[in-house]
Amino acid sequence: MGERLPEIFVKAVDVALASGAEDIKRLPGIHRLDLGAGWTMETNGHAEEMHGVPPYSVAVLRWWLPRAIVNAAFGQVVGGPGAEDEVIAVLDAALARYRAEKGDGADA
């Protein structure tokens, strides 16, 4: 496991941007998105840990339990075989949904 961590980080950033998030570092806390079906994404744009999310990192949670915590330099995915693929599929679905809501024809 771990080969797809950079892909998870890039997709998480794409989801945040597609959702309309801007300047996350200026928020007083984390940026939280409901991805549906019990999945949540929390983005910390600050230099200190907030709400259990490391600095400048993204946490993808299922029923409030971390499934992935990634940033540009490191990451970890929790779960057995296929866990990375599952997180990526959730992010792909969220990205497609946000793009459809905006009428953006870009492929996920």
- Classified as helix, coil or strand, 42 is strand
Enumerate the domain spans of the chain: 5-98
CA distance 68 to 48: 18
Neighbours of 2 (CB within 10 A): 10
CA distance 48 to 51: 10
What pLDDT, in 10s, does the model give residues 37-96? 999 999 999 999 999 999 999 999 999 999 999 999 899 999 988 999 999 999 999 999
CA distance 12 to 18: 10
CA distance from start to end of the chain = 23
Higher pLDDT, 108 or 80: 80
Query: Among 17, 80, 83, which residue's Cα sits nearest to residue 45?
Result: 17
24 contacts 43 by C-beta, under 8 angstroms? yes
Predicted model pTM: 0.90
Give 1's pLDDT tier (boundaries 50, 70, 90): low
